[in-house]
Amino acid sequence: MADHNELGKTGEEMALKHLKGLGYTILELNWHYGREEIDIIAKDGDTLVIIEVKTRATTWFGEPEFAVSRSKQKTLIRAAEGYIMKHDLNLDTRFDIISVIITPHEKKVHHIEDAFYPTL
């Protein structure tokens, strides 16, 4: 497996540990809707949480969360709508980003709740 794939997998494992530590219920990992993917789908109390995990080995190009472009947000929103329809859910929904930095000197998880909102 390529180094960047291993880095991403490690970042997702760190994100899961973080979420479980906060008491989230994990519903899905790497859930696909057509060609679109949601990294983690969870529940925080009565709220459905759609989570994008971004992992980097450096902040040279900025914090990982800045890689979640408007285009990526739209993709996540479409996939979330598919998940909600498929499971016939009627829950408040929130979009979070978990930013993970893994360097030889540190491992840092930054959880951004309500990172973006779906637009009409």
- In this structure, are residues 18 and 111 in contact, taking their beta carbons and an 8 Å threshold? yes
Q: Give me the residue spans of the domains in the chain.
A: 3-60+69-109
- In this structure, are residues 14 and 109 in contact, taking their beta carbons and an 8 Å threshold? yes
pTM of the complete model: 0.90
CA distance linking residue 50 with residue 47, whole number of Å? 10
The two three-digit tokens of residue 106, written as one number = 């540190």
**Widest CA span of the chain, in angstroms?**
45
pLDDT at position 106 is 86
pLDDT, averaged across the chain: 91
Tell me the per-residue pLDDT of 40-65, one tens digit each, with 9 for 90 and over: 999 999 999 999 999 988 777 778 88
Q: Which residues contact 92 (CB under 8 A, 6 or more apart)?
A: 46, 47, 48
Q: C-alpha dihedral over 19, 119, 65, 88, to 10 degrees?
A: 30
Residue type, 113: E
Q: 3-60+69-109, what's its fold?
A: Trna Endonuclease; Chain: A, domain 1 (3.40.1350)
| Nearest one of 17, 97, 10, 115 to 57, comparing CA atoms | 10
Tell me the per-residue pLDDT of 76-87, one tens digit each, with 9 for 90 and over: 999 999 999 999
